[in-house]
Structure 1
């Protein structure tokens, strides 16, 4: 019988093995006191994987890594759920490939969650490469906020944008987060399994908003200001028409499921 580990890191790969190697190296470096499994669920299609054989081989040899190869791109939520099904841990870490740990964050996060039974998940201070805090903490999605984001220039509706990204909060203190971007969220594994993970009807995008809403229905997702994690945010859906199409389709599914405000 497998011994329960402290942490399961779930990382979804899609041709970005070098980036994941960097992330894994920081995970191994800055979690010295915790047992862990790093489950890399590979969504790269079979026919493309051969082009990255050297990188895949390097990744698979890193400490604590288990590589799970899908035959096709199953989407972000479904890939994370594959890792969740295999997870043997107390805490499940949804971790993007573009995450870099810079300190022993879990020596602060884990005791905090354990001491606060009402907290089911935390999202730490996510910062960019210049150590500026990113606007990844949001109030619940509304059609109005979506419309502003996609159909108005960035210099418009600044007050509403600031409200949606919770700029009125004191970021030196914890606070409840209705919607935390799913780049790096630490969830109690038993809670994640109770919720059956991500809703797989979302192929990519907005599945994190859906998950956060369900976490907050039975527990609390909280911003945790006492440790920082670097997120090399690429904002792909703003640059790629195909990704933007997926984003808008996912939002339509979200509002059909939860209603609009």
Structure 2
């Protein structure tokens, strides 16, 4: 029987920069803990099947683009995860060797914590807004068209000291470190979202379970942040559809 893993991780792949993806994978593989990385390939051609080979990597071909949450759920709900912690990781994130171990220590301090996330930086070292209040329809709209900055700033906790840990309403989904048993109990992501808003939704599910999420800025990661829906009409409409589904499910605020 396989020894219990300390940490598992899943990364969903579609159209990725291979250099950046190598950095992401190497960041995880350097962790000095028993681990397994699931590379979930949403391409129809199984493009990534032989791109990354390692004893700690398991390749998961989907052969169609089923979206972010549904792809992660192929691991969360179908792989009988044999780990204490599971990391949801974007393919454009990198971090230093001690980050995971230090975040795990924080998770273990509080039995009510289900998930933790670190401070997020852009590649140039500037701060990236990754902890937020739950969005309202107006806040999402104002953020898109860049007006009514006071409302948008309230949504990104501009009124708080973001150098200190606290429990925000939601944490953006580029890096979520979960207690595996809690993530499995949540049944992963709501698959009604193809892309966007699934990270907000799962934070709502954590609230409903009576558990908490922690923002821990003492640890840092780097995230490229593609902002696809700001550059692509197709992705903008996917984002819009996801937002409609979110507000229909949780109500308009």
TM-score, normalized by length of structure 2?
A: 0.94
The farther-off stretch of 93-102 and 83-92 is: 83-92
Match of 2:63 in 1: 71
Mapped pair 1:43 → 2:42:
yes
The CA deviation string for residues 110-155 of structure 1, in whole angstroms up to 9 with x for no partner, is 11111111111111111111222211211012111111122x2x3x
Off by >3 Å, runs of 4+ in structure 1: none
Mapped pair 1:233 → 2:232:
no
Match of 1:170 in 2: 161
Match of 1:182 among 167, 173, 178: 173
Counterparts of 1:1-261 in structure 2, within 5 Å, are 1-16=1-16, 18=18, 19-29=20-30, 31-32=31-32, 34-46=33-45, 49=46, 52=47, 56-59=49-52, 61-85=53-77, 86=79, 87-150=81-144, 152=145, 154=146, 156-217=147-208, 218-261=210-253
Q: Offset of 1:102 from its aligned partner?
A: 2.4
Aligned counterparts of 1:82 and 1:88: Cα–Cα separation in 2:
15
Aligned counterparts of 1:39 and 1:24: Cα–Cα separation in 2:
10
Aligned counterparts of 1:173 and 1:63: Cα–Cα separation in 2:
38
CA RMSD between the two structures:
1.4
Aligned counterparts of 2:235 and 2:86: Cα–Cα separation in 1:
27
The structure in which a higher percent of residues are helix is: 1
TM-score, normalized by length of structure 1?
A: 0.91
The farther-off stretch of 2-11 and 200-209 is: 2-11
Aligned counterparts of 2:170 and 2:17: Cα–Cα separation in 1:
28
Q: Is the 8 A contact 2:119 2:130 kept in 1?
A: no
Q: Offset of 1:260 from its aligned partner?
A: 0.3
Which ranges in structure 1 are unaligned for 5 or more consecutive residues? none
Q: Offset of 1:57 from its aligned partner?
A: 1.6
Q: How many residues align?
A: 249
Aligned counterparts of 1:197 and 1:58: Cα–Cα separation in 2:
27
SS at match of 2:12: strand
Aligned counterparts of 1:145 and 1:6: Cα–Cα separation in 2:
39
Aligned counterparts of 1:24 and 1:177: Cα–Cα separation in 2:
28
Q: Offset of 1:15 from its aligned partner?
A: 2.9
The CA deviation string for residues 41-76 of structure 1, in whole angstroms up to 9 with x for no partner, is 111113xx4xx4xx64231x1341111001211110
Aligned counterparts of 1:254 and 1:107: Cα–Cα separation in 2:
33
